[in-house]
């Protein structure tokens, strides 16, 4: 088992956080200690004087041990816009070195760290770098989360090709059934499965409210 995975998605709002928490629960059920990290988060709210993100809080709550919020989410940005724009509006710049420092700290505490990206593979985090650059410096195998909805085949193939072109190893992909009445859902998943030369690690069924123990049972990562 690797010491971690980088979780990316075909776009924003595809279910990366639900998939990440489900993975955390799955790995914990196999006996591993796990922490989640969301280095860059947008759309944050001010809680007790600290900017915090709901998705990052969910990762914090589901970790195998309690850690400080800022280690999990060193860049909590207010505006719900692209990270490089949100950071500029707050007068800061996302620095990979700061993210690495927090990642190594988390990695020293547990067996596995799951790092969730922001948006898609090429979402910019500053004027020069994007999520692909973040994944590269972390040197973690990538798991691609695909929302099964209209257009998902094209999005999955493009994202997978971009990951490979970036030189990052892809450990597999997760299908998230994000639409309750998706037409030809099984056919779409089958088409993506044939197109991506990596394992399908699980199909997360549609659910209005997340039951992460239930969702974790639909994943398969070998210990």
Active site residues per annotation:
38
Comparing C-alpha atoms, which of 195, 202, 185, 183 is closest to residue 155? 195
Q: 63: which DSSP letter?
A: S
**Rounded-to-integer distance, Cα 144 and Cα 216, Å:** 16
Yes or no: say if 200 and 173 are a contact pair by the CB < 8 Å rule.
yes
Helix and strand numbers, DSSP H then E, in the chain: 9, 10
Yes or no: say if 170 and 141 are a contact pair by the CB < 8 Å rule.
yes
Yes or no: say if 131 and 23 are a contact pair by the CB < 8 Å rule.
no
**Rounded-to-integer distance, Cα 173 and Cα 216, Å:** 14
C-alpha distances out from residue 201 to 81, 135, 222, Å: 30, 20, 10
């Amino acid at each position: 088992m690797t010491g971690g995975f980088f979780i990316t998605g075909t776009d924003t709002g595809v279910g990366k956080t639900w998939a990440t928490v489900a993975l955390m629960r799955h790995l914990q059920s196999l006996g591993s200690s796990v922490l989640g990290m969301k280095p860059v988060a947008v759309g944050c709210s001010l809680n007790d004087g600290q900017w915090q993100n709901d998705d990052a809080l969910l990762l914090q709550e589901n970790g195998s041990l309690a850690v400080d919020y800022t280690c999990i989410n060193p860049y909590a940005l207010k505006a719900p816009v692209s990270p490089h724009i949100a950071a500029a509006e707050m007068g800061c710049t996302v620095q990979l070195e700061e993210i690495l420092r927090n990642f190594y700290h988390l990695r020293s505490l547990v067996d596995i760290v799951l790092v969730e990206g922001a948006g898609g593979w090429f979402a910019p985090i500053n004027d020069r770098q994007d999520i692909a650059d973040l994944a590269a410096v972390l040197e973690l195998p990538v798991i691609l989360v695909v929302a099964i909805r209209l257009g998902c085949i094209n999005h999955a193939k493009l994202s997978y090709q971009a990951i490979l072109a970036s030189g990052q190893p892809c450990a597999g992909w997760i299908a998230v059934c994000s639409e309750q009445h998706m037409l030809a859902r099984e056919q779409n998943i089958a088409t993506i499965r044939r197109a991506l030369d990596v394992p399908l690690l699980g199909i997360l069924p549609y659910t209005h409210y997340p039951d992460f123990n239930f969702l974790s049972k639909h994943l398969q990562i070998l210990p």
